């Protein structure tokens, strides 16, 4: 399935792979031919540098052991979600998210997706957690989104919302415990104690806007339980430098360390 979006080459020893996304976006204006040339060059370089190579989602890695591509539950979960345009690009981030969700699964509380868009990441997470997700019987996965351009989304690529809500609904419909909450999150979460009072085991922040996220994290930190996990999607992404500064500042004050990953994500585990 990864083959739909990646060029996957096996190295001569057959154990090592080169995964390069066909449509890498390191330069949007890069002509197709140059893009192809770069992929060829990465392939050649990778033969010399050893290990697995990965080129996607702003990462160019070599000399690695890419184990997650052999995680059959992850690959099956991604394929069940039927990725649409560009979604496979973030499969390494999705691996991190699934790991984080599994860490949180035994903690008390619900799961929260702040900014679900088409529901790709959250749906993969839900499939990945399987029946363990609801072994306590009453857990929900709340997906928040406005499903249209918001005055709060000023940074990052403009999103195309034409089918976002219908795709999210269809992905959510496979699970009774997923609830989509449509609207501006400042109203639907911050000003709505039906949701903001709930205990939290897992939260994924992906609103592309630090000013709103920082208001939410204040609430979230009062509702997280021991062992819960929070993932910040844009923590170390270059257009979101304010995110990085603000979250470091926020968690330093609480003496909770934040893990910065090459995927651009930040991860916090609540003691």
Ligand X SMILES: C[S@@+](CC[C@H](N)C(=O)[O-])C[C@H]1O[C@@H](n2cnc3c(N)ncnc32)[C@H](O)[C@@H]1O
What residues make contact with ligand X under the rule CB under 6 A?
115-118, 120-121, 144-146, 150, 152-153, 159, 184-186, 206-209, 212
Contact 189, 114 (CB under 8 A): yes
In the complex, least distance from residue 89 CB atom to ligand X, rounded to whole angstroms: 11
Contact 172, 118 (CB under 8 A): no
In the complex, least distance from residue 6 CB atom to ligand X, rounded to whole angstroms: 18
Output 54 or 232, the one with its CB closest to ligand X: 232
Output 90 or 258, the one with its CB closest to ligand X: 90
Closest to 23 in 3D by CA, of 57, 68, 63, 73: 57
Output 56 or 209, the one with its CB closest to ligand X: 209
In the complex, least distance from residue 223 CB atom to ligand X, rounded to whole angstroms: 19
Output 120 or 141, the one with its CB closest to ligand X: 120
In the complex, least distance from residue 184 CB atom to ligand X, rounded to whole angstroms: 4
Contact 106, 73 (CB under 8 A): no
Distance between start and end Cα atoms, the chain: 37
Distance CA 223, CA 114 (A): 15
In the complex, least distance from residue 252 CB atom to ligand X, rounded to whole angstroms: 26
In the complex, least distance from residue 53 CB atom to ligand X, rounded to whole angstroms: 25
Output 5 or 206, the one with its CB closest to ligand X: 206
User: Which residue lies nearest ligand X, judged by its C-beta?
Assistant: 115
Segment holding 78, helix H or strand E: helix 72-80
Output 54 or 120, the one with its CB closest to ligand X: 120
Other C-beta atoms closer than 10 Å to the C-beta of 164 total 19
Closest to 59 in 3D by CA, of 92, 85, 105, 12: 92
Output 35 or 192, the one with its CB closest to ligand X: 192
Q: Assign residue 228 a region: left if phi > 0, alpha if psi is -120 to 50, beta otherwise?
A: beta
> How does strand 6-10 pair with strand 17-21?
antiparallel
Closest to 261 in 3D by CA, of 240, 230, 232: 232
3-state helix, strand, coil in the chain (%, to 5): 40, 20, 35
DSSP state of 22: T
In the complex, least distance from residue 207 CB atom to ligand X, rounded to whole angstroms: 4
């Amino acid at each position: 399935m990864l083959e739909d979006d990646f060029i996957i080459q096996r190295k001569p020893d057959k154990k090592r792979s080169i995964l390069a996304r066909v449509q890498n976006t390191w330069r949007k204006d890069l002509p197709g031919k140059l893009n192809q040339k770069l992929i060829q060059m990465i392939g050649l370089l990778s033969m010399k540098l050893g290990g697995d190579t990965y080129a996607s989602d702003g990462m160019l890695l070599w000399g690695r052991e890419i184990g997650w591509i052999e995680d059959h539950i992850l690959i099956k979960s991604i394929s069940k979600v039927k990725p649409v345009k560009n979604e496979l690009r973030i499969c390494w981030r999705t691996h991190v998210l699934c790991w984080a969700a599994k860490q949180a699964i035994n903690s008390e509380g619900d799961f929260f997706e702040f900014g679900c868009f088409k529901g790709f990441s959250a749906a993969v997470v839900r499939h990945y957690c399987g029946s363990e997700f609801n072994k306590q019987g009453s857990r929900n996965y709340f997906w928040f989104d406005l499903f249209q351009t918001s005055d709060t989304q000023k940074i990052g690529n403009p999103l195309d919302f034409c089918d976002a809500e219908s795709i999210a609904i269809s992905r959510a419909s496979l699970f009774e415990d997923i609830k989509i909450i449509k609207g501006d999150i400042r109203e639907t979460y911050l000003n709505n104690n039906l949701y903001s009072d709930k205990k939290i085991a897992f939260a994924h922040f992906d609103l592309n806007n630090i000013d709103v996220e920082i208001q939410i994290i204040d609430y979230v930190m009062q509702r997280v339980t021991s062992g819960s996990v929070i993932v910040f999607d844009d923590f170390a992404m270059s257009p979101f430098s304010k995110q990085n500064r603000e979250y470091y500042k926020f968690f330093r004050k609480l003496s909770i360390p934040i893990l910065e990953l090459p995927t651009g994500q930040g991860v916090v585990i609540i003691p």
